[in-house]
Amino acid sequence: MEVLANLEQKNVMHWFEFVCSYPHGSLKEEKLAAAIMDFARSKGLECKEDAWHNVLVRKPASPGYEDKAPVLLQAHIDMIWAKEKGVDFDFETQGLNLYIDGDKVRARGTTLGADDGIGAAFMLAVLDDDTLEHPPIEAVFTTAEEIGMVGAIHFDKSQLTAKRMINFDAGGFTEGRIYVGCAGIMRAMIRQQAERVPFSPAGHQPVQIVVGGLKGGHPGGDVGKGRGNATQMMGRILRQLLAMEGVEVSHAESADFSQDNKYSMPIDARILACAKDAAAVTAAMASLQATLRDELSDVDEGVTITVTQTGEVPAQVLSRSTVETMTRIVALLPNGVQSMQRLFPDTPECSATACRVEWEGDTVIYYSSIRSCKDSLLTEMGVKYQTIAALNGCEAELSDPLPGWDYDKNSHIRQLVEAEYVREFGREPRFKVTHAGTECSQFKKDLPDLDIISMGPIIYEEHTPKEYLGIESVGVLWTFLKNILRQL
């Protein structure tokens, strides 16, 4: 029996549960794409799947709307795979274990994938409901958005005829948030060649230092919340270890170990060291933990630094100069909001996140994610990473920036949405430019005349196992969407 079958919002929730029943991580969407194709064929709808498993479905206009211009509906069908520590779950073979928690839908022990499974569900509900009044519909389900909008980049947009687009990769509709622009994204990697030296373990005790308990979150939507960053904490730990006598470091890394995304907000760190006085290391880490909890009070006060003694004695350790370089790089990496927008003053204009630190052989790789609505600021941030690398004898690699989606003050679809919102709710919506990157930018880049709006129900804690979807907000948006389609 469907978990969500008895909800009042079953028109959409049935399809959300459908999406959640298939594995659909980035580049693992083929089963869900095939299921969407099967559904479209069963409805007699024109459909097409490309080599990237993007799916295009066309639905003819309802009676009386045949002469109307078509509208494009768009969402991505991949999700971030992350689970709580100790949870036995195989994302590649299992559907999500959904449950209802008051007005929320959650998944037991894992991410929910409402980002953007609920967007796909809205589109499937529109395609399925033959009682709706609407113009011709072009529905595009894209893939691999979470790892760089891969599907949207490769999707052939020349086959589209719509000049108006509703994107569903957003949240907060019932809180008044409707999106009219997004940030562009650039990614940076700094590569450091490490040196290892022989180690004589006489009198040393190997220890493992682990950072945990951080909330993490979305590098775009949560960057302004001041949450803790495990990469920065790793750097602080390394500096303390360098200042202690009789301590040698053999390894240091940071990430969100619950997921494979190299550009997620890091919530875990692991340092391996050998110390002549393990008790002194434990005391130093306890002191640093107390400092961090004070700095992050009311934001990430659950941070932990644990020290355990291990039996793994390395034959080599990192040279002191290698560890010193690691601490300098981490200290210099930009992290957090760099500037705020003027037109939308509660939204970052430019930000950076110090992401994963990992190893390839004897090379340390530092990943960073940079976001801005202005391409010029992305370029300037890129110069910073190149400078950090040059000052430390390292190499920097910058990805080609993903474009932003600029606010259009003359948008007709925004004006229509605004008027309908005021009519239904008696108040003005809060139009926003999201600091997250969305596929709207890719569609706008290739189709410059496309008029876009982005909206979605309540979704919080996306990209984490705490993610949830607001049930009531789904029904409210469904009613609103039907009214908008009727007027297009």
2 is a domain residue: no
Residue 452: how many other CB atoms lie within 10 Å: 25
Beta strand residue intervals within 132-175, DSSP E = 137-142, 164-167
**Domain end among 351, 377, 398:** 398
380: containing domain = 186-398
Q: What is the DSSP letter of 115?
A: H
- Close Cβ partners of 210 (under 8 Å, ≥ 6 residues apart): 268, 269, 270, 271, 304, 305, 306, 308
* 176, 192: one domain: no
Q: What is the CATH number of the domain that holds 160?
A: 3.40.630.10
Closest to 56 measured CA to CA, from 156, 175, 149 = 156
135 is a domain residue: yes
* 460, 431: one domain: yes
Written as six digits, the tokens of 242 are: 């360098």
User: pLDDT by residue for the chain (488 residues), tens digit each?
Assistant: 589 988 989 999 999 999 999 999 999 999 999 999 999 999 999 999 999 999 999 999 999 999 999 999 999 999 999 999 899 999 999 999 999 999 999 999 999 999 999 999 999 999 999 999 999 999 999 999 998 899 999 999 999 999 999 999 999 999 999 999 999 999 999 999 999 999 988 889 999 999 999 999 888 778 889 999 999 999 999 999 999 999 999 999 999 988 778 888 999 999 999 999 999 999 999 999 999 999 999 999 999 999 999 887 899 999 999 999 999 999 999 999 999 988 888 889 999 999 999 999 999 999 999 999 888 999 999 999 999 999 999 999 998 788 889 889 899 999 999 999 999 999 999 999 988 889 999 999 999 999 999 999 999 999 989 999 999 999 999 999 999 999 99
Per-residue pLDDT of 241-271, as tens digits, reads 999 999 999 999 999 988 778 888 999 999 9
In angstroms, the CA 147 to CA 149 distance is: 6
Q: What is the CATH number of the domain that holds 290?
A: 3.30.70.360
Q: What is the dihedral of CA 318, 322, 327, 333, to 10 degrees?
A: -120
* 226, 317: one domain: yes
* 244, 271: one domain: yes
**Domain end among 352, 383, 398:** 398
3 is a domain residue: no
Tell me the β-bridge partners of 272.
208, 251
4 is a domain residue: no
Say how far residue 254 (Cα) sits from the centre of its chain.
17
pTM of the model: 0.76
Task: Please report, for residues 13, 141, 150, the alpha-carbon distance to residue 52 in angstroms, rounded to integers and kept in the order given.
Answer: 26, 11, 8
5 is a domain residue: no
Closest to 269 measured CA to CA, from 322, 210, 312 = 210
Residue 315: how many other CB atoms lie within 10 Å: 10
Residue-level pLDDT at 146: 92
Q: Omega of the bond prior to 67 within 30 degrees of 0, cis?
A: no
- 3-state SS assignment for residue 412: helix
Domain total in the chain: 2
User: Contact, 209 vs 281, CB < 8 A?
Assistant: yes
* 373, 417: one domain: no
Written as six digits, the tokens of 81 are: 């795979």
In angstroms, the CA 295 to CA 11 distance is: 46
In angstroms, the CA 72 to CA 75 distance is: 10
* 205, 95: one domain: no
* 19, 67: one domain: yes
Beta strand residue intervals within 332-394, DSSP E = 336-340, 348-360, 363-372
* 214, 122: one domain: no
Per-residue pLDDT of 337-392, as tens digits, reads 999 988 888 889 999 999 999 999 999 999 999 999 888 999 999 999 999 999 99
**Domain end among 398, 415, 445:** 398
| Residue 228, amino acid | G
Residue-level pLDDT at 117: 97
Q: Which H or E run contains 445?
A: helix 440-446
* 218, 249: one domain: yes
User: Contact, 92 vs 172, CB < 8 A?
Assistant: no
In angstroms, the CA 421 to CA 480 distance is: 8
* 343, 410: one domain: no
Residue 329, judged by CB atoms within 10 A of its CB (0-12, 13-18, 19+), counts as buried
Residue-level pLDDT at 406: 85
Could you tell me the maximum CA-CA distance found in the chain, to the nearest angstrom? 86
Written as six digits, the tokens of 167 are: 């994107």
- 3-state SS assignment for residue 343: coil
Q: Which H or E run contains 452?
A: strand 451-454
* 373, 464: one domain: no
* 380, 431: one domain: no
What counts of helices (H) and strands (E) characterise the chain?
Answer: 11, 23
Written as six digits, the tokens of 62 are: 């309802």
Per-residue pLDDT of 112-164, as tens digits, reads 999 999 999 999 999 999 999 999 999 999 999 998 899 999 999 999 999 99
